[in-house]
Amino acid sequence: ANGLHTWFELRQWGFLRVGAVRAVDDVSFTLARGEAVAFVGESGCGKSSLVRTLLGLHRPTLGEVRFEGVSLAGLKGAALKAYRARVGYVQQDPFGALPPFLDVRRILAEPLKVHGVKDRAERERRIRAALEEVRLTPVEEVLGKFPHMLSGGQQQRVVIARALILEPALVIADEPVSMLDASVRVEILELLRNIQHRRGLTLAFVTHDLATVRHYAERIFVLYAGKVVESAPVEDLLDAPQHPYTRALLAALSDPDAANATRLREVPGGEPPSLIDPPAGCRFHPRCSRAMEGLCDRELPPDFTPRPGHSVACWLHEPLSDDSGHPMTLDGRRTAG
């Protein structure tokens, strides 16, 4: 029923849905138009594979990505090109993402040319508008600059301008500020949020930084070993995390010793598992202090819904019925004695 509901949403609104890939295993979600979401996880959790899949750079072995009602799998040639114009990409390393021998004008002209904007004056107009939008001014000066002449924050503004210039519906930002100086991180995140609001864009952040997601996403997906283990509205997720992994991430953040460590590497119990040969059952069970023998190490937990909009893949949340017939969680049963 849940799956049908998802499909209904897809048809109704034109959403984006991701199916199974090797590193991204049976991940399924929809993004609503105009919302900002964050995918959070440690390195090696499948974030980059997810981004590549969403961008249509690699094809899922199973499952599919649907965008505005159309499956990416069927897209070739001109249709694939059109899809790429609808999805902007903001890379993690702005300097690496920009061609070193082109000035800003030519960097921004490139996608316009590739996508058939033949009129030179029209290109110039759109390039200038994009630079104004990312507040890289004075535009006249910036146009002739090469990437190495710009600061990291300015380079990232060029990358954002390039991601926006074809007027995408969705922008995917892969750790967009992790390589920038702390002093410009907030500016860049606020810029993205402002542009998102103004344009009604869908924004998908990929990050390991759970500490700052509150400021820029409305909904969070927590990834572990290629799976979404928990998803919820941001306040709900941060204030009442349900999955033992999410709780461990948040506990690591509030640990004073880890106060400056925004990277999510302090979760006890060792490293995330290999994605090639993941553990049976719940993939978190080897590190989970609440693991139940005979269940967690054998059966993959499905998604449970402890409350509306909040989904968690953990056996602790399997609904049980108490004597009154009300569903409750294993957590609840334990406290009830």
Answer for which of 207, 284, 310, 311 binds ligand SF4 (CB under 6 A) is 284
Q: Residue 247, interface with ligand SF4 (CB under 6 A)?
A: no
Answer for which of 75, 102, 292, 328 binds ligand SF4 (CB under 6 A) is 292
**Shortest CB 264 distance to Mg ion, Å:** 13
Nearest to 135 by CA among 191, 185, 90, 91: 191
**Shortest CB 92 distance to Mg ion, Å:** 6
Nearest to 24 by CA among 72, 56, 70, 61: 61
**Shortest CB 269 distance to ligand SF4, Å:** 10
- C-alpha distances in Å from residue 297, one per residue of 285, 292, 319: 6, 8, 19
Answer for which of 36, 131, 173, 282 binds ligand SF4 (CB under 6 A) is 282
On the question of a cis peptide bond just before residue 138, with omega within 30 degrees of 0, the verdict is: yes
Answer for which of 290, 303, 328, 332 binds ligand SF4 (CB under 6 A) is 290
Neighbours of 69 (CB within 10 A): 13
Helix (H) or strand (E) holding 2: helix 2-13
**Shortest CB 316 distance to ligand SF4, Å:** 5
Q: Residue 178, interface with Mg ion (CB under 5 A)?
A: no
**Shortest CB 291 distance to ligand SF4, Å:** 4
Q: Residue 48, interface with Mg ion (CB under 5 A)?
A: yes
Q: Residue 39, interface with ligand SF4 (CB under 6 A)?
A: no
Residue with tokens 């979401």: 37
Q: In the Cβ-directed half-sphere of 152, how many Cα atoms lie within 13 Å?
A: 15
Nearest to 159 by CA among 91, 207, 111: 91
Alpha carbon distance 18, 26 (integer Å) = 8
Binding site for ligand SF4 (CB under 6 A): 243-244, 282, 284-285, 288, 290-292, 296, 301, 314-316
